[in-house]
């Protein structure tokens, strides 16, 4: 398999789906003439033309609404936000309209739309451009929320998202766009709602997603040096959650640590911890621990920002805690 960048994998997914289905089109800020703010849509304008790769004004509420309307009448839009922090301007369209339309129309209208773009703490972008909103969107019935961590998953997950008949919030971490990895060519689909065991283990379950997978895998290797065999699970889909895979792992290891870039207060990890505890409390030999970002607005300073993120040291410390080491 060829090794390509994360952004190229996303480009392949969109291009292949646009070739396969003429109803698929892309719209958003700078997606056409500029080839995308992060060059994810590189070359797509020349390949598909301005009727299917559409530059929009800086008006997230407006072009999100256009996309939802287009989806309701049979098209399959991909709406790109330059950053998911800007999706807050369109949250009424996403939450009140896209998520509820199938239910409120009694099943008469589907909304096959993908809202995608960059997210996360990416380096010196400060508080208003560094939001992690997965927990916000995952709380909303009617939305699917997906967050890939590798180029192969980025391609397979985005293709599945585009083919879904329900609205998908597809969040890509900005610091992953340049990462390279082997990606299958042609038809490669990752099923929605299926987590992936990236590293098998027997002593502790490490649950994570998106960029935090890299830190978690590095922590697992560090723990292995001390004789701790950690199992690492990449959630991939945030909603619906693959709880069965998590439960099976926890039943095997009897301990769990959740690693997330989200804030800790009412964060995604809290909901995951609750679901595991409700299902298999008697299997746990220690309380579930969470390693999250510090509970504060994101600073502009690069060093201060880095200090807020989950680190190998913090993950190792949490594992040692649940192992009573």
Quote the tokens at residue 144: 């699917």
- CB within 8 Å of 248: residues ≥ 6 apart: none
H or E segment at 182? strand 180-182
309 DSSP assignment: S
Q: Which of 129, 131, 173, 188 is catalytic?
A: 129
3-state DSSP assignment of residue 140? coil
Cα–Cα dist 131/141, whole Å: 21
Q: Give Cα separations from 314 to 188, 191, 306 (angstroms).
A: 35, 32, 13
Cα–Cα dist 264/237, whole Å: 19
Residue from 167, 172, 137, 192 nearest 70 by CA: 167
Q: Which of 60, 80, 134, 231 is catalytic?
A: 60
Q: Indicate if 60 belongs to the active site.
A: yes
Cα–Cα dist 155/236, whole Å: 12
Q: Indicate if 131 belongs to the active site.
A: no
Cα–Cα dist 4/151, whole Å: 7
Which are the catalytic amino acids? Answer: 60, 129
């Amino acid at each position: 398999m060829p090794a390509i960048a994360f952004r190229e994998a996303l480009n392949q997914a969109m291009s292949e789906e646009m070739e396969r289905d003429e109803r698929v089109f892309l719209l958003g800020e700078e997606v056409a003439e500029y080839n995308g703010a992060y060059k994810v849509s590189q070359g797509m304008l020349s390949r598909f033309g301005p009727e299917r790769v559409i530059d929009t004004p800086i008006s997230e509420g407006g072009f999100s609404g256009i996309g939802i309307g287009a989806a309701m009448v049979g098209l399959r839009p991909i709406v790109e936000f330059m950053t998911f922090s800007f999706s807050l301007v369109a949250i009424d369209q996403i939450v009140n309209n896209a998520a509820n339309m199938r239910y409120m129309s009694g099943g008469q209208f589907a909304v096959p739309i993908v809202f995608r773009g960059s997210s996360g703490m990416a380096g010196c972008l400060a508080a208003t451009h560094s939001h992690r909103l997965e927990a916000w969107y995952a709380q909303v019935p009617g939305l699917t929320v997906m967050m890939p961590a590798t180029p192969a998953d980025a391609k397979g997950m985005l293709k599945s998202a585009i083919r879904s008949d329900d609205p998908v919030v597809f969040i890509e971490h900005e610091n992953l766009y340049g990462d390279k990895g082997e990606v299958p060519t042609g038809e490669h689909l990752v099923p929605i709602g299926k987590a992936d065991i990236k590293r098998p283990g027997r002593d502790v379950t490490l649950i994570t997603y998106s960029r935090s997978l890299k830190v978690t895998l590095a922590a697992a290797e560090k723990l292995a040096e001390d004789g701790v065999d950690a199992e690492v699970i990449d959630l991939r889909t945030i909603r619906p959650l693959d709880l069965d895979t998590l439960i099976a792992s926890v039943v095997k290891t009897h301990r769990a640590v959740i690693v997330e870039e989200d804030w800790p207060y009412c964060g995604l990890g809290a909901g995951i911890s609750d679901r595991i505890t409700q299902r298999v409390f008697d299997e746990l030999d220690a309380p579930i621990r969470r390693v999250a970002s510090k509970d504060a607005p994101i600073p502009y300073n690069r060093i201060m920002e880095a200090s807020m993120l989950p680190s190998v040291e913090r993950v190792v410390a949490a594992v040692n805690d649940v192992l009573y080491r």
